[in-house]
Structure 1
Amino acid sequence: MTETQDLPPRLTHLTFHGPLSEPRANGIVDRLALAEPTTVLDIGCGWGELMLRVLEAAPGATGIGIDLNGEDLARGRTDAAARGLSGRVEFLEKSATDAAPDPADLVLCLSASHALSDAEPPRHTTEALHALRRLVTPGGRVLLAEGYWQRPPTQDELAAMWPDARADEYDDLAGLVDRAVEAGFRPAWVETANRDEWETFESGYQADKEVWLAGHPDHPLAEETREKLDAHRANWLRGYRDVLGIAYLTLVPVG
């Protein structure tokens, strides 16, 4: 067995790259399609599942997805072709700043505000919101998925999260919405991922590699894979579970 044989699959258990259920996604898509967008821009799109669903619900729309992960983009192109959307969507392997996209009627930014700002959090959220304000056409919509603290984290929880996690890294939900208002938006819809959505996402994020590792304990990549899986699980279960939230904000630009 070599390092290039029998490698683990990647994220095949995930429909969306985030804690988002089918019912919530359906509601979001229905509301966004009601605004009748003709252009859709997905910043940090991954494989662009939500964008593709919007294009299906808004037959007159075209879309552009921007991301740096070529594997995810390839999955998006394959999914678009399977749905007959290849002629209406383009996936670009670029950074959001290098791509310099034109303003769109609908801008999606799903846990990708870091693609629009290099500032330290939470300042990067403010800068990303101002960038999104410039990227949406008058009367359009922005869907922002962004982190917030469900409650103040303890020091033990912060120590178990990602490196250098800080209590001031995120706002609470009210503070996050205030940032959106200060950046020139009105919040048309505010909703948050629930525990079931988080557990489905976190389990699905690990599942492919966990199953692979159980069947390949002596593979040359087994030790590295095990360490990464165990570290991520500890970050979640001992750190940010029921502490870090994800808000889905449907925003309308003022004026």
Structure 2
Amino acid sequence: MDRARLSAIAHRWHPVAAPVSDDALARLVERAAPTGRGTALDLGCGSGAWLLAMLAARPGLSGVGVDTSGPALDAARDRAALAGMVGRAVFVQADAAGWRGEPADVVLCIGAAHAFGGTAGALEAARRHLRPGGRVLFGDGFWESGPSERALAGLGAEPGELPDLPGLLAEVGRCGFEPGYAHLSTTAEWDEYEWSWTGALTEWALTEAGAGEREEALGAARTHRRQWLEGYRRELGFLTAVLHDVA
């Protein structure tokens, strides 16, 4: 199966592609979004959950979401239509790292730092698109504990690939940003996200997939479940923060 299609199916039950609850998402977008009229840009928007939540919270905002995944963008456009946001929310299939567009009042980049080579690259890109005085809503992973050998194996990561939380915040500071409000994902949020990911994919495999895709999808769900439960559960953390540009 195409990886982008598999991921879009796996995120059906939890369209927020991060271990963040709906309540936490609402608080984060409320504190990051500008008041009045303005624009938002979501770099690596996936199926658009963050951008659409921000536009719902601020009727004066319009926004652009950029992602490489066609299936995720199709889902984002469907959600925008259901929410009555056609025209306010535009979704573009492109490489977020190379995107060139108008400056925005708020830039979102959540769980997509890998597309920019890491935290520093993602925040450098966010600044290029940010109007003076704007804010960035940024989300990235860190080691909550460890990492143990099994956690590294579960993620396919090297020991120094992710920082701990102080290290992640230090990198944010080196990039010229000051954290304001932030949210640390809980174990319950991680569990809900991972069970939704594997559960949605499993249900699709058993009820909708054709014969050629059923076993592939089930295999992907089983592998992901094992990597999470036997690997990085309770070791991998996730920070989502409202950042102020102080450079």
TM > 0.5 fold call? yes
Conserved 8 A contact 1:152-1:167: no
Change (3 A) 1:94 1:217: closer
Pairs aligned (count): 242
User: Which residue of structure 2 aligns with residue 155 of structure 1?
Assistant: 149
User: Which residue of structure 1 aligns with residue 75 of structure 2?
Assistant: 75
Q: Sequence identity of aligned pairs in percent?
A: 34
Conserved 8 A contact 2:25-2:50: yes
Amino acid aligned to 1:228 = A
Aligned ranges for residues 101-250 of structure 1 at < 5 Å? 101-117=101-117, 124-159=118-153, 161-163=154-156, 165-214=157-206, 219-250=211-242
User: Which residue of structure 1 aligns with residue 55 of structure 2?
Assistant: 55
Q: CA deviation at 1:162?
A: 3.0
Conserved 8 A contact 2:34-2:106: no
Conserved 8 A contact 1:45-1:67: yes
Q: CA deviation at 1:45?
A: 0.3
Conserved 8 A contact 1:43-1:115: no
User: Which residue of structure 2 aligns with residue 89 of structure 1?
Assistant: 89
Change (3 A) 1:60 1:214: closer
User: Which residue of structure 2 aligns with residue 25 of structure 1?
Assistant: 25
Amino acid aligned to 1:29 = V
Structure 1 CA distance for aligned equivalents of residues 185 and 144 of structure 2: 11
1:253 aligns with 2:241: no
Conserved 8 A contact 2:31-2:181: no
Q: CA deviation at 1:208?
A: 2.2
Secondary structure class of the residue paired with 1:239? helix
Q: CA deviation at 1:39?
A: 0.8
1:107-160 CA distances to partner (integer Å, 9 max, x unpaired)? 00010112223xxxxxx212222222222111111011100000121123323x
Q: CA deviation at 1:241?
A: 0.5
Amino acid aligned to 2:23 = P
Structure 1 or 2, whichever has the larger Rg, is 1
Structure 2 CA distance for aligned equivalents of residues 23 and 190 of structure 1: 13
Change (3 A) 1:222 1:83: closer
Q: CA deviation at 1:200?
A: 0.8
Q: TM-score, normalised by structure 1?
A: 0.87
Change (3 A) 1:178 1:84: same
Structure 2 CA distance for aligned equivalents of residues 212 and 187 of structure 1: 39
Q: CA deviation at 1:217?
A: 10
Show structure 1 runs of 5+ residues with no match: 118-123
Amino acid aligned to 1:243 = E
Show structure 2 runs of 5+ residues with no match: none
